[in-house]
Chains A and B, each alone.
Chain A
Amino acid sequence: MEKMRMNVLVCGGTGCIASDSEKVAKNLEVIIKARGYDKEVSVVKTGCFGFCEQGPIVKIEPDNIFYVRVGAKDAKEIVDEHIIKGRKVERLLYKDPEDNKPISRQEDIQFYKKQLRVALRNCGFINPEDIYEYIAAGGYEALGKALTQMTRDEVVEEIKASGLRGRGGGGFPTGVKWEITKKQESDVKFIICNADEGDPGAFMDRSILEGDPHSVLEAMAIGGYAIGADKGIIYIRAEYPLAISRLNTAITQAREAGLLGKNLFGTDFSFDITIKYGAGAFVCGEETALINSCEGKRGEPNYKPPYPAQEGYWGHPTCVNNVETFANIPVIITKGSEWFSSIGTENSKGTKVFALAGKINNVGLVEVPMGVTLREIIYNIGGGIQGGRKFKAIQTGGPSGGVLTEKDLDTQIDYNSLLEVGSMMGSGGMIVMDETDNMVNIAKFYLEFTMDESCGRCTPCRIGTKRMYELLNKITSRKGTMADLDALKQLAYMVKDGSLCGLGQTAPNPVISTMKNFWNEYLNLIKDEDHPRGEGKYVPKNKIGMKS
């Protein structure tokens, strides 16, 4: 290989690709070659940088200059000015929204200042389609260490000691889950990666798989070793074509390098991974439904217990973990549980990736240590509310969570504290609403989603969500009465208590929490009965609530 003096990193995440980053990369390559610099300067397509709002992102190394919103036609200037002459292209630098001053280094941008990248450590750093870049960044060392220097119990203990909890929504301690699965007596066990990611607006898992697929493969092998499974399955929705293609590439490369397959690292441990495609049903993210779907059955949940760890895939003990959970594993093994548990709060260790969306300036993917406040996320990292409007609420936990308001903004983010204030961590979707959003409409949006996604297996969820949706529809079209509000509330608790799986048990949360925090908005719609139709104040404005 030639001695490269410069790497031009171009974001190849889905967000940036949608704004044509592939063309940017292509143009850069062509022009660099035309100028005769292709032996010194390489163009590298990486995973997501997270700053999707400002994409396509181009970062020049080792200069450490961060360009935003780079168009295909900017390639020439970047090559001629920066790459050849060493002059920064000022107009492509990110401008601080406060004083409009250009910022050239990634770490000086507000959006990145409070972030800590653990699960996303390689996203925007390596080329996800090159296993050697992953290895050069320290990849597969954790697997080697686990297999050759640690017993299975030691691996389990290390993960337990780290305090890592499931990032898929439930927050169950990962080490404990591994221990339970390990203890089951069975010759055949499975480890499954849950890459269904059904939350509307969430793209954490997708970005990890697109930007750093090997970290998940490596972690699955470590988990397989710990629990005694020699087969792994990645369950991923077919709607993630780029993630699937990068996973396939990664699996092929890992097999070629002997990092998946027989006798890994010369030990007697063998492990391989297959991919199962889902059709994109929200309920298939629920682990028992997911297992049914993997077996080729309808994606419907089962009653628990037995838990998958006891009776999972084809009746065998099965450990199901989320993508982001896995992405944390290799670092815990290499850097140690002590390091990991030094980050975060008492009961929630490490970091969490969030997909920031809605009426916020910096839409994107952020990873923060547990314990930062919602205010820091919204105002420091997120750059505040679009158009200088007023913050109204933030929905965490997706359709299973609830809204949090101004009074909750100083809550430190962790599993327990979010539950205490009436929402939940969930898998990491965060949707910000401003003063123009009507909360009843928001609740209706989520309910429409869960109603559509209810698998129909149990009555409270199948019929309850439908009736709730109808009531909400009646209310938002200003035909509702106080009795309807009562009925809605009652029904909400009935669906919550009576449903079989997490989908139904949490589906009413958006209604319950908006009723609690924004009761007046419900009342206003009812009070309109006193006015002639059409004169009420209520104008549905937000895009997501329009469909009704």
Chain B
Amino acid sequence: MQIKSLEELKKIKEEYKDRVRLRSQVEGTGDQTEILVGMATCGISSGARETFNAFIEELAEEKLDDVKVITVGCVGYCHSEPTVQVNIKGQKPVLYGNIKKENVHELIEKHIKGGEPVKRFILSTDFEIV
């Protein structure tokens, strides 16, 4: 296909944004919202991968491009897997437990978009992150 105007170029840019969306430039990182999903053996066996993919899909649908979803190892709450931690710049990280893929929508609506943590899933809010 031949690009014949700046608008067409921008449309194509939009269309292919996904290819580079996940990557961070060396500068200017660190202020994005991060969703960390525990994906150790305990997490995976409780459905963390489904939870993870549900985040990816819903964020893409909602066009929340600046939210990073990252897999992390076991955080030691194996009894409450899958665990999900939400880091929003300037706020205390929030750790959730028992997040099945059905709960993803609620977390995104209330916490990511609305800024209100979903209390009934919270495991601990004084978790130290590095």
Q: Does B37 contact A (CB under 8 A)?
A: yes
Report whether A7 and B22 are in contact in the complex, using a CB–CB cutoff of 8 Å: yes
Report whether A135 and B12 are in contact in the complex, using a CB–CB cutoff of 8 Å: yes
Give the size category of A's interface with B.
Answer: 35 or more
Provide the main secondary structure of the chain B interface.
Answer: mixed
Report whether B1 and A257 are in contact in the complex, using a CB–CB cutoff of 8 Å: yes
Report whether A125 and B25 are in contact in the complex, using a CB–CB cutoff of 8 Å: yes
Q: Does A225 contact B (CB under 8 A)?
A: no
Q: How far does the alpha carbon of A145 sit from the alpha carbon of B5 in the complex, in Å? A: 10
Q: How far does the alpha carbon of A15 sit from the alpha carbon of B44 in the complex, in Å? A: 37
Given known A-B contacts A40-B53, A62-B24, A62-B68, A132 and B5 have beta carbons under 8 A apart: no
The interface-forming segment of A112-120, A233-241, A500-508, A529-537 is A112-120
Give the size category of B's interface with A.
Answer: 35 or more
User: In the complex, which of the residues B17, B40, B69, B74 contacts A62, with contact meaning CB atoms closer than 8 Å?
Assistant: B69
Q: Does A445 contact B (CB under 8 A)?
A: no
Report whether A259 and B3 are in contact in the complex, using a CB–CB cutoff of 8 Å: yes
Report whether A265 and B18 are in contact in the complex, using a CB–CB cutoff of 8 Å: no
Chain A residues with CB below 8 A from B68, complex form: 62
Report whether A133 and B56 are in contact in the complex, using a CB–CB cutoff of 8 Å: no
Q: Does A200 contact B (CB under 8 A)?
A: no
Chain B residues with CB below 8 A from A126, complex form: 20
Report whether B16 and A132 are in contact in the complex, using a CB–CB cutoff of 8 Å: yes
Q: How far does the alpha carbon of A126 sit from the alpha carbon of B17 in the complex, in Å? A: 12
Chain A residues with CB below 8 A from B70, complex form: 62-63, 86
Q: How far does the alpha carbon of A84 sit from the alpha carbon of B71 in the complex, in Å? A: 8
Chain A residues with CB below 8 A from B97, complex form: none
Given known A-B contacts A87-B73, A136-B13, A258 and B20 have beta carbons under 8 A apart: no
Q: How far does the alpha carbon of A34 sit from the alpha carbon of B53 in the complex, in Å? A: 19
The distance from the CB of B82 to the nearest CB of chain A, in whole angstroms, is 11
Q: Does A276 contact B (CB under 8 A)?
A: no
Q: Does B23 contact A (CB under 8 A)?
A: yes
Q: How far does the alpha carbon of A458 sit from the alpha carbon of B15 in the complex, in Å? A: 57
Report whether B24 and A61 are in contact in the complex, using a CB–CB cutoff of 8 Å: yes
Q: How far does the alpha carbon of A135 sit from the alpha carbon of B1 in the complex, in Å? A: 14
Q: How far does the alpha carbon of A144 sit from the alpha carbon of B5 in the complex, in Å? A: 7
B61-108 interface with A by 8 A CB criterion:
68-74
Which residue of B has the minimal Cβ distance to A5?
B56
* Interface 0/1 of B7-45, CB less than 8 Å to A: 001101100111111111111010000000111110110
Chain A residues with CB below 8 A from B27, complex form: 107, 116-117
A-B CB pair tally, cutoff 8 Å? 124
Report whether A112 and B73 are in contact in the complex, using a CB–CB cutoff of 8 Å: no
Q: Does B129 contact A (CB under 8 A)?
A: no
The distance from the CB of A235 to the nearest CB of chain B, in whole angstroms, is 28
A300-319 interface with B by 8 A CB criterion:
none
Q: How far does the alpha carbon of A295 sit from the alpha carbon of B73 in the complex, in Å? A: 61
The distance from the CB of B23 to the nearest CB of chain A, in whole angstroms, is 4
Chain A residues with CB below 8 A from B39, complex form: 84-86
Chain B residues with CB below 8 A from A115, complex form: 26
The CB with the most chain A CB atoms within 10 A, among B3, B44, B74, is that of: B3
A1-30 interface with B by 8 A CB criterion:
1, 3-7, 9
Report whether A3 and B41 are in contact in the complex, using a CB–CB cutoff of 8 Å: no
Q: Does A520 contact B (CB under 8 A)?
A: no
User: In the complex, which of the residues B13, B26, B44 contacts A112, with contact meaning CB atoms closer than 8 Å?
Assistant: B26
A434-450 interface with B by 8 A CB criterion:
none
Report whether A136 and B4 are in contact in the complex, using a CB–CB cutoff of 8 Å: no
Q: How far does the alpha carbon of A141 sit from the alpha carbon of B18 in the complex, in Å? A: 18
Q: Does A373 contact B (CB under 8 A)?
A: no
Q: How far does the alpha carbon of A140 sit from the alpha carbon of B5 in the complex, in Å? A: 11
Chain A residues with CB below 8 A from B53, complex form: 3, 5, 40
Chain A residues with CB below 8 A from B4, complex form: 258, 263, 265-266
User: In the complex, which of the residues B10, B29, B40, B52 contacts A87, with contact meaning CB atoms closer than 8 Å?
Assistant: B40
Q: Does B57 contact A (CB under 8 A)?
A: yes
Q: Does A154 contact B (CB under 8 A)?
A: no
Report whether B19 and A133 are in contact in the complex, using a CB–CB cutoff of 8 Å: yes
Which residue of B has the minimal Cβ distance to A65?
B70
Q: Does A138 contact B (CB under 8 A)?
A: yes
Report whether B29 and A85 are in contact in the complex, using a CB–CB cutoff of 8 Å: no
The distance from the CB of A250 to the nearest CB of chain B, in whole angstroms, is 15
Chain A residues with CB below 8 A from B16, complex form: 132-133, 135-136
Report whether B20 and A125 are in contact in the complex, using a CB–CB cutoff of 8 Å: yes
Given known A-B contacts A3-B56, A85-B73, A258-B4, A138 and B22 have beta carbons under 8 A apart: no
User: In the complex, which of the residues B6, B19, B40, B57 contacts A85, with contact meaning CB atoms closer than 8 Å?
Assistant: B40
The distance from the CB of B74 to the nearest CB of chain A, in whole angstroms, is 8
Which residue of B has the minimal Cβ distance to A40?
B53
Q: How far does the alpha carbon of A241 sit from the alpha carbon of B65 in the complex, in Å? A: 37
Q: How far does the alpha carbon of A112 sit from the alpha carbon of B43 in the complex, in Å? A: 34
Q: How far does the alpha carbon of A5 sit from the alpha carbon of B18 in the complex, in Å? A: 10
Q: How far does the alpha carbon of A106 sit from the alpha carbon of B56 in the complex, in Å? A: 24
Given known A-B contacts A61-B24, A64-B24, A64-B29, A136 and B19 have beta carbons under 8 A apart: yes
Report whether B13 and A135 are in contact in the complex, using a CB–CB cutoff of 8 Å: yes
Q: Does B60 contact A (CB under 8 A)?
A: yes
Chain B residues with CB below 8 A from A135, complex form: 9, 12-13, 16
Chain A residues close to B by CB (< 8 Å): 1, 3-7, 9, 40, 61-64, 82-88, 106-107, 112, 115-117, 121, 125-127, 130, 132-133, 135-138, 140-141, 144-145, 148-149, 256-259, 263, 265-266
Q: Would you mind naming 5 contact pairs between A and B with Cβ atoms under 8 Å apart?
A: A83-B71, A85-B71, A141-B6, A145-B6, A265-B6
